[in-house]
């Protein structure tokens, strides 16, 4: 972006749109995820005296854009990028969980744990039913364990947690949020970008923070 901004003779337009935007045909080649991002979109176009405005870059931000804007500088974009943010993180897969709080891309609170959940059962009949009931119990215990730790850590945090970032299996995360009520309405402020994680743990939290603050970029090449 900085190189583009100082490109000799370049004139450009920077547009920022919150979620719910619609793009004109100039941006029609963008993937579906960029056509309707809940967090909004940042569009950077070149102003060409011969052919008019040409799309150059589209950025999907990790955190929601609150207001529409249009300018000939990157000041508003930079401000959006450097705003102080504190977020809660929950990574969850059956058997393992990881909880964290991150401020401005740095972990400040972490906690990991596990709870046994058997995945397979080969027998049928009553044995299969017992296994199903047992597995449902193990899953509830896993959710309760992770939820208790998360609620305690988030409640004890002295600042304001703006958003919740989640990672793991989508179905499991949905079931978790239905069972666990997080403090201060955090469950209702979960960001739409789900983080991919194979096994929640300390290392996966490092990756989660990096992903949580990452912008997705789509470049148009002449």
Domains assigned to the chain:
2-83 (no CATH), 86-212 (3.30.420.60)
**Do 43 and 12 form a contact (C-beta atoms < 8 A)?**
no
> What confidence tens digit (pLDDT) does each residue in 17-28 have?
999 999 999 899
Mean pLDDT of the chain: 89
**pTM value?**
0.87
Burial of residue 98 (number of CB atoms within 10 Å: 0-12, 13-18, 19+): buried
Can you give the pLDDT at residue 9? 59
> What confidence tens digit (pLDDT) does each residue in 84-121 have?
999 999 999 999 999 999 999 999 999 999 987 766 54
Residue (of 199, 193, 190, 188) closest to 212 by Cα position: 193
Q: How far apart are CA 42 and CA 77, in angstroms?
A: 8
> What confidence tens digit (pLDDT) does each residue in 153-168 have?
999 999 999 999 999 9
What is the pLDDT averaged over residues 4-20? 77
| Sequence-ordered alpha helix ranges (H) in 51-201 | 75-82, 125-156, 170-179
């Amino acid at each position: 972006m900085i190189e583009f901004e100082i490109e000799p003779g370049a004139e450009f337009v920077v547009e920022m749109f919150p979620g719910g935007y619609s793009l004109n045909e100039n941006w029609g080649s963008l993937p579906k995820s960029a056509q309707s991002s809940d967090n909004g979109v940042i569009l950077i176009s070149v102003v060409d005296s011969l052919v008019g405005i040409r799309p150059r870059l589209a950025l999907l931000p990790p955190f929601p854009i609150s207001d529409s804007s249009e300018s000939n500088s990157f000041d508003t974009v930079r401000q959006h990028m450097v705003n102080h943010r504190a977020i809660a993180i929950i990574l969850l897969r059956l058997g393992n969980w990881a909880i964290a709080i991150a401020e401005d891309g740095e972990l400040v609170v972490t906690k990991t744990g596990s709870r046994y959940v058997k995945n397979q059962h080969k027998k049928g009949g009553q044995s299969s039913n017992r296994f199903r009931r047992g597995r449902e119990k193990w899953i509830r215990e896993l959710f309760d364990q992770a939820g208790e730790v998360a609620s305690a850590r988030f409640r004890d945090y002295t600042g304001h947690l703006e958003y919740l970032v989640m990672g793991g299996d989508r179905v499991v995360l949905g079931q978790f949020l239905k069972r666990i009520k997080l403090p201060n309405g955090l469950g209702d402020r979960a960001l739409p970008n789900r983080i991919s994680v194979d096994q929640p743990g300390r290392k996966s939290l490092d990756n989660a923070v990096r992903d949580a603050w990452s912008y997705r970029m789509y470049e148009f090449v002449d």
